[in-house]
Amino acid sequence: MKLTQLTATNELAIFSGSPAFEQKLHVGRPNIGKREALLDRINDLLDRRWLTNNGPYVQEFEQSIADKVGVKHCIAMCNATVALEIVIRAAGLTGEVIVPSFTFVATAHALQWQEITPVFCDIDSQTHNINPSQIERMITPRTTGIIGVHLWGRSCDIDALTDIAQRHNLKLLFDAAHAFGCSYQGKMIGSFGNAEVFSFHATKFFNTLEGGAVVTNDDELATKIRLMKNFGFAGYDKVIYLGTNGKMNEVSAVMGLTGLESLEEFIATNYRNYQQYKQELADIPGVQLTTYDETEKCNYQYIILEIEECLTQVSRDQLVEILNAENVLARRYFFPGCHRMEPYRSYYPHAGLLLPETERLTTRLMSLPTGTGVGAAEISKICQIIRLVVTHSSEIKARLLQPVATKTPTAIAS
């Protein structure tokens, strides 16, 4: 990492300088818990030779998650996408289901994969979550459910969504991929709607290498999900239900149990990083940090900036390009929106007309590195780069618009 203060645009890697960081800083670099504890558990499961099929570590992991969230049932899965697919099927969703377009594409794919039509609803400009005031006009006789997504770990307006679902006799599910360890009105996310789905993918602040889980208080739904994630088996040679293979293996469960022991440490690191970003970015024109309600429990795992180009004079995409050249792998979230990806772009070419806030935010939001993979020095350097770019935005924008041949090779960022 460069130790000197950046003072001139020529020092930027996209022009003539060397990258600020020798190693790439990723958004969502995996957190690893106590390595010795992890290896001890792995050695134990190898000695037992029970590697999958509802082993003791999976059972312990499920109970630990259920206890932490405060729900009756946790069904661990191989990943959150399969978990979504299974809970959608177990809940009996068909026809059309209302979802935000401003989410990871797996939310929509989990429906379309089962020939259920995702009906894209716009989001609230402040919360970035599905806008309840836009939902009822999208309900048709074919609508069977709503899936809310708790973006950045900030909860949906659960009360409003619950009211709509109850009045229209719709199932209500939540994609809580971002929201493990977060709360809504003092109650842990995971205990709302018919069921919620967590992601424990490696990029999440808490991971099981690859994995996910359905959490619910519905006994009947939980029974169906347990059958469906294990081919419909209800004992040896006894298949009583249609199913697939969604099981979590023992190594993933071990990773999860080890991570749970360091969970508060991970959250404390995220919070410290969030506060530093908040302080160091506070007075940069056109750069707005998405904030969290600190009266609620939160995992603080996402550092999200909204870039207002009329003030910064450089676009979000240009800023991402500049940071990428410095080995700061900032990401455009959630670009370009599910409705602009296939197959939805072909199915619903005019969907954007009903999604003005989604369209606006997909061009403005970006995510920065956080977690245990970055420290105070790295964050200060990242903020320094952003400040330099905005301070000298006119010059930088002019140079970025020059033909590529006039730039140095380091200007071309992947």
Residue 228 pLDDT: 98
Distances (CA, A) of 18 to 2, 14, 99, 185, 374: 9, 8, 43, 47, 20
What element of type H or E holds 99? strand 96-100
Identity of the residue numbered 96 = E
Residue 411 pLDDT: 35
**Higher local confidence (pLDDT), 244 or 4:** 244
What are the tens digits of pLDDT across the range 325-340?
A: 999 999 999 999 999 9
Residue 9 pLDDT: 86
Q: How far apart are CA 400 and CA 65, in angstroms?
A: 48
DSSP 5: P
**What are the backbone dihedrals phi and psi of residue 66, each rounded to the nearest 5 degrees, phi first?**
-60, -45
Q: What angle do CA 127, 132, 135 make, to 5 degrees?
A: 130
Per CATH, which fold does 35-261 belong to?
A: Aspartate Aminotransferase; domain 2 (3.40.640)
Per CATH, which fold does 9-29+263-330+369-411 belong to?
A: Aspartate Aminotransferase, domain 1 (3.90.1150)
Average pLDDT for residues 262-286, to the nearest whole number?
Answer: 98
Q: Which residue has the tokens 């300088």?
A: 17
Residue 408 pLDDT: 45
Is a pLDDT exceeding 70 seen at residue 5? Answer: no
Q: Where are any strands of DSSP class E within 182-302?
A: 183-184, 187-188, 195-199, 212-216, 287-289
Is a pLDDT exceeding 80 seen at residue 257? Answer: yes
Is a pLDDT exceeding 60 seen at residue 49? Answer: yes
Q: How far apart are CA 18 and CA 408, in angstroms?
A: 11
Distances (CA, A) of 86 to 77, 221, 224, 259: 10, 11, 9, 25
In the chain, pLDDT over 90 holds for what percent of residues? 93
Q: How far apart are CA 204 and CA 210, in angstroms?
A: 10
- Beta carbons within 8 Å of 69's beta carbon, 6+ residues apart: 188, 189, 190, 191, 215
What are the tens digits of pLDDT across the range 53-71?
A: 999 999 999 999 999 999 9
Question: Which of 281-285, 326-330, 404-408 comes out lowest in average pLDDT?
Answer: 404-408
Pairing of strands 117-121, 96-100: parallel
Residue ranges per domain, the chain? 9-29+263-330+369-411, 35-261
Where does the pLDDT of residue 138 fall: very low under 50, low under 70, confident under 90, or very high at 90 and above? very high
Residue 10 pLDDT: 87
Distances (CA, A) of 192 to 157, 268, 337, 343: 11, 26, 26, 30
Q: What angle do CA 299, 207, 234 make, to 5 degrees?
A: 120
CB distance 140 to 114 below 8 Å:
no
In the chain, pLDDT over 70 holds for what percent of residues? 96
Residue 412 pLDDT: 32
Is a pLDDT exceeding 70 seen at residue 4? Answer: no
Where does the pLDDT of residue 413 fall: very low under 50, low under 70, confident under 90, or very high at 90 and above? very low
- Max Cα distance, the chain (Å): 71
What are the tens digits of pLDDT across the range 219-238?
A: 999 999 999 999 999 999 99
Q: Which residue has the tokens 């390595």?
A: 35
The whole-model pTM stands at 0.94
Give CA 386 to chain center in angstroms.
Answer: 24
Is a pLDDT exceeding 80 seen at residue 7? Answer: no
What are the tens digits of pLDDT across the range 341-372?
A: 999 999 999 999 999 999 999 999 999 999 99
Residue 163 pLDDT: 98
- How large is the C-alpha radius of gyration of the chain? 23
Angle of helix 263-281 relative to helix 250-261, nearest 10 degrees, comes to 60
Residue 2 pLDDT: 52
